Amino acid sequence: MSGEALQAERGVSLWRDAWLRLRRNRLAVAGGVTLILLCVLALLTPWIAPYDYRAQDLALGASPPSAAHWLGTDTLGRDLLTHVLWGGRISLAVGFVATGVALLIGVLYGTIAGYAGGRVDAVMMRLVDILYALPFMIFIILLMVIFGRNLVLLFLAIGAVEWLTMARIVRGQVQTLKQQEFIEAAVSLGLSRWTIIRRHLIPNTLGPVIVYTTLTIPSVMLLEAFLSFLGLGIQPPASSWGLLISYGAETMEEYPWLLIFPGVALSITLFSLNFLGDGLRDALDPRIAKD
């Protein structure tokens, strides 16, 4: 009988367990579904956008939502829905790519520091501490001013800011992991350092990394929107939600929909990501697992 109980217990792996817990969290599920939907819309934008991106209708000008233009048009008679879709594409792309940059740097840096330990670790983490204390928002503005406002630089600049916390989290994980028997076993099997890092350490840090990644995406998107709002991020004719909000804010007195719809799009995305991130944290956090 105890054998059966053991069997049942073993059947639930860490990931399956986390998945079950995540599925019970309705807000997180709703966030995840909304997010997938938004990504599909962003991917399909070139085919589903109702109007051409550059199409103007100066005779029409700004018009409130109607059957022809679901979200209305801006002062140049451009369809707002089309622009919100295209803007979302860029905002989401910035969110994912810049987070990807942060993920890559952070995980590698954290793993190396944690695995090497000793003086290497001390020097590497001191550097992180120093970078942490910098006024990054201001540095990004400085970078954008000096090197011009281009998209690649924006990705790099944001990614370069956001990797710090990731590196700290991963390092902490690796430090505890490397004292466990399975790493000792891998070492005694004669595996190379790089193989151990790649095959044994990084996969085992995935839980916290996934959680933190989900929470980094919204902060990256906020940063982009914020820079675009100030006129230092995405430049026209390209569009992003931050840029649309900034235009909307200028004309909100006469044409409030130009502010409200891009704002709603950005907020829904941020809500979804935060709910999903919180849900994942609850599902994957080993401290509250199994209660």
Q: Cβ(171)–Cβ(111) under 8 Å?
A: yes
Task: Show the binding pattern over residues 8-47: x = contacts another protein (CB under 8 A), - = does not.
Answer: ----------------------------------------
* Residue 134 touches another protein, criterion: CB under 8 A: yes
Tokens (6 digits) for 145: 């001013």
- 211, 278 in Cβ contact below 8 A? no
Stretch that binds another protein, among 13-21, 189-197, 217-225, 280-288 (CB under 8 A): 217-225
Residue of 1, 8, 67, 133 that binds another protein (CB under 8 A):
133
Strand partners, 79: 73
Query: Measured between alpha carbons, how far is residue 130 from residues 2, 124, 156, 228 in Å?
Result: 54, 10, 19, 27
The answer to whether residue 60 forms part of the interface with another protein (CB under 8 A) is no
Q: Is 53 in the site for another protein (CB under 8 A)?
A: no
Region of residue 190 (phi > 0: left; psi between -120 and 50: alpha; otherwise: beta): left
User: Which lies closer to another protein via its Cβ, residue 74 or residue 200?
Assistant: 74
Taking CB under 8 A as the criterion, the residue among 147, 185, 236, 286 binding another protein is 147
Q: Return the number of the residue (164 or 202) whose C-beta is nearest another protein.
A: 164
* One residue of 76, 137, 185, 288 binding another protein per CB under 8 A: 137
Q: Which of 276, 282, 112, 275 is nearest to 205 (CA)?
A: 112
Block residue for tokens 């890559």? 104
Quote the Cα angle for 142-145-150, to 5°. Answer: 115
**Positions that interact with another protein (CB under 8 A):** 129-130, 133-135, 137-139, 141-148, 218, 222, 225-226, 229-232, 242, 245-246, 248-249, 252-253, 256, 259-260, 263, 266-267, 270-271, 274-275
